Amino acid sequence: MKILSINDSKHLVLSIIGLKVPNSYLLIKRILDVLIALVLILLFGPLMLVIALGIRISSPGPIFYRQTRIGKNGKPFSMLKFRSMQVVNNPDLHREYVQKLIKENTEPRTLGKSSLKILADARITGLGKYLRKFSLDELPQFFNVLKGEMSIVGPRPPLPYEYEIYSEWHKQRLAVLPGITGMWQAMAHNIVSFDDMVRLDIEYIQSMSLWLDLKIMFLTPVEMIRGKGAG
């Protein structure tokens, strides 16, 4: 693996060249992913049932929401979430907001936001705003982990309309399985610019290790308690 500094659109960025991740690490990571996902599904099972009942009672529509995301090497997959929005909603608001952040490389806090999510989104249900605030809507993604579509730790998978405006160097963050949590969520508090988020993801890929994964897993609950959503 070699790290090069290149200039892209007036931003100094990192490149992944000849990335070679040890097979032993990938095997152990996969085993841990499955074991942790199974344990957490059992542990949070009662909470998930309560959330499912709350969604059913509080707003019409399905309990779960399947959202197309872009995974490893640009391959789309269906990511599972608890539904936190009204069934009928217009995605244009979020599309315009997040594409603006990507194109202009703007920090969310400069727009009065705390993440790539629109926190004061009128499409979100009353219960949904609490699910999103504490990332509880993300709990069903442990089933994506069991299916091998995601890992516990890795870059968050983008939406198709985010991916379509990525620069080539942005796409490097998809060299590995996407994760439920990652460097950006655990160490940058969801408030960095988009380019800095990508740099953190690339730094994770360059430094992947079980110790780093465990560190991110340890820090994530702290961010959840603070109310920093995953995205």
Rounded Cα gap, residues 187 and 216, in angstroms: 8
Q: What is the pLDDT along the chain (231 residues), one digit of tens a residue?
A: 333 333 443 344 555 656 677 889 999 999 999 999 999 999 999 999 999 999 999 988 899 999 999 999 999 999 999 998 887 766 777 788 788 778 877 665 544 444 556 555 667 888 888 898 888 999 999 999 999 999 999 999 999 999 999 999 999 999 999 999 998 888 766 667 888 889 999 999 999 999 999 999 998 887 777 655 555
Classify each residue of 106-132 as buried b or exposed e, where b means 16 or more C-beta atoms within 10 Å of its C-beta: eebeeeebebbbbeebebbbebbebbb
Q: What are the residue ranges of helices labelled H in 59-187?
A: 92-104, 126-133, 141-146, 160-163, 183-187
The terminus-to-terminus CA distance of the chain in angstroms comes to 29
In this prediction, residue 51 carries a pLDDT of: 96
Q: Spell out the domain ranges in the chain.
A: 26-225
The tokens for 15 are 């490149």
The tokens for 227 are 């109310």
